[in-house]
Structure 1
Amino acid sequence: MYHLKLFLLALSFYTRLPVPKDQDYSKLPQACIYLPLVGWVVGGFSGLCFYVAGFLWPQTTAVILALIAGIMLTGAFHEDGFADVCDGFGGGYDKQRILEIMKDSQIGAYGALGLLLLVSLKISLLSSLPVFSVPWVILAGHSISRFQPLLLMRQYNYARSDNSKGSAAVFKPNARDLLFAATTSLLPLLFLPLLCSLAIPFVLVVNWRLGCYFYRRIGGYTGDCLGASQQMAEIVFYLSVSALWTFT
């Protein structure tokens, strides 16, 4: 029952799905280990939308509708973090300025261009895959990518010193938490060819380098950095699977 409550808490924070209102948000840090399971929900819903739309429209249109479904389900939670990181690290020259820009609710040129290119890549890659594989690739992409922020949280400290909104979710998962999250994040790979599992090292390496970059520039991570980590991991997974599929 305790774990179910944490999962529902994670759903209430990271998605717009209706859940019981009596959530204990003081437990939100512990609930983050259920991020890959949240990815199951978001990726499963997006994949289902693609499957249904595929009966009526071309594959590219079905991909776009699937992406829209995922964005509506999450309220662009991670995409917003990615855009803020593009603006902050693109326009900031030191830690203080980077953090100030990321806290600004308005999107700038770097963020707008970053989102445009990110979404374009997703559409291009998912549209190029065999149609029967796309729902499973989306499911795996959402699940695996949501494990990567946990690795950054484990390795680095929160970069802000003020009482920002994101600081309420600061948490360092232990080895058992990471093992649970890693296992749940990898399970959707069972629905894909074995060769697709080779995408995981590329995702891990890019996430590691991203964490090093964040640490060098601001001394750790912020909530926006975690959102950017998820988006980068998702797109690297799609890139890797698309490349590996030519050998299946």
Structure 2
Amino acid sequence: MLIKSLISAFSMYSRIPMPHIEWKEENRRYALCFFPFIGAVIGGMLLLWRYIADLLGVGEVLFGAVCTVIPIAVTGGIHLDGFCDVCDAKASYAPREKALEIMSDSHIGAFAAISLGIYLLLECAFFAEVRDFKTMLVIACVFVISRTLSGLAAVTFKCAKKEGALQSFARPAHKNATITVLIIMLILCCGIIVYIDPAAGAGGIIGGLGAFAYYRSFSYKRFGGITGDLAGYFLQVCELVSLICIVIAEKIFMAL
């Protein structure tokens, strides 16, 4: 069952080839426990790229651009899709039900396109500021932390809809086991990044927890709970805010 849950998580939230398994609830019971493993793959690829970039003397712009592409290549853009849908819904200022309908629309609106462009530019720019392998190691852990927080939200936050991609994983989840595993992962990752680099680690934790608090507040107030699109929106915001906080914290520490 654990192997099938891992396959279910990677099949849904990544483009990494996986064996085919039957799509049924018992195969997704522990899938959210393995969700952070996808972040670990992304983090590993980012570290490999940092090593290659240093070896080849790659410039900052190219380095930042490839770092921006790596998470999209691994996930297939599934979380960015949710980010765009939420940006369109936010910009509409429509009532709750109408906003939920807008998020369900597969078309991308002007506000989503603008927000996506700004997001990718900021991510590329801040990645380009990362030159130290130690800082990159902290950033790599952020992709695990964001998914532990997302998984915790999926099984503890109120859902805005009775059906959907999020519910297909949250409803069959073994909640106690999922919460326990994800909290342990979260504590370990936070401890590791603070140990590696106290300044950058503290920045990453502040950014991640700040985004998590905003996610709950915004989702409940605007939509009455979370959805799959909102989960994707949170993941992208969490990773960008954490990256920004890490880079700023590192620069402040270096200036002291």
Q: TM-score, normalised by structure 2?
A: 0.85
Aligned AA (1:3): L
The match for 2:17 is: 18
* 1: CA distance, partners of 2:123 / 2:174: 30
Aligned AA (2:200): C
* 8 Å contact kept, 2:47–2:137: yes
The match for 2:38 is: 38
* 1: CA distance, partners of 2:135 / 2:207: 20
* 2: CA distance, partners of 1:135 / 1:4: 30
The match for 1:244 is: 249
The match for 1:3 is: 2
How far 1:22 moved relative to its partner?
2.4
How far 1:33 moved relative to its partner?
2.1
Distance 1:187 1:131, change over 3 A: same
How far 1:85 moved relative to its partner?
0.7
* 8 Å contact kept, 1:50–1:63: no
* 8 Å contact kept, 1:47–1:66: no
Matched, 1:139 2:144: no
How far 1:54 moved relative to its partner?
4.1
Matched, 1:215 2:216: no
* 8 Å contact kept, 2:5–2:29: no
Distance 1:151 1:247, change over 3 A: same
Q: TM-score, normalised by structure 1?
A: 0.88
* 2: CA distance, partners of 1:187 / 1:60: 32
* 1: CA distance, partners of 2:85 / 2:93: 11
* 8 Å contact kept, 2:208–2:242: yes
Aligned AA (1:100): E
Matched, 1:47 2:47: yes
* 1: CA distance, partners of 2:248 / 2:8: 36
Aligned AA (1:158): C
Matched, 1:193 2:193: no
Aligned AA (1:236): V
Select between 56-65 and 45-54 the one with higher mean Cα deviation. Answer: 45-54
Distance 1:61 1:93, change over 3 A: same
Select between 168-177 and 75-84 the one with higher mean Cα deviation. Answer: 168-177
The match for 1:63 is: 64
* Identical pairs, percent: 26
Select between 81-90 and 205-214 the one with higher mean Cα deviation. Answer: 205-214
How many residue pairs were aligned? Answer: 246
Distance 1:188 1:216, change over 3 A: closer
Matches within 5 A, 1:93-172: 93-133=94-134, 135-161=136-162, 163-171=163-171
Aligned AA (1:241): I
What secondary structure is seen at the aligned counterpart in 1 of 2:86? helix
Root-mean-square deviation (Å):
2.3
How far 1:103 moved relative to its partner?
0.6
* 1: CA distance, partners of 2:39 / 2:168: 21
In the alignment, structure 2 segments of 5+ residues that lack a partner are: none
Deviations 1:15-38 (A, max 9, x none): 111112125542325301222121
2:230 to 225, 240, 246: 225
* 2: CA distance, partners of 1:118 / 1:244: 20
In the alignment, structure 1 segments of 5+ residues that lack a partner are: none
* 1: CA distance, partners of 2:112 / 2:121: 14
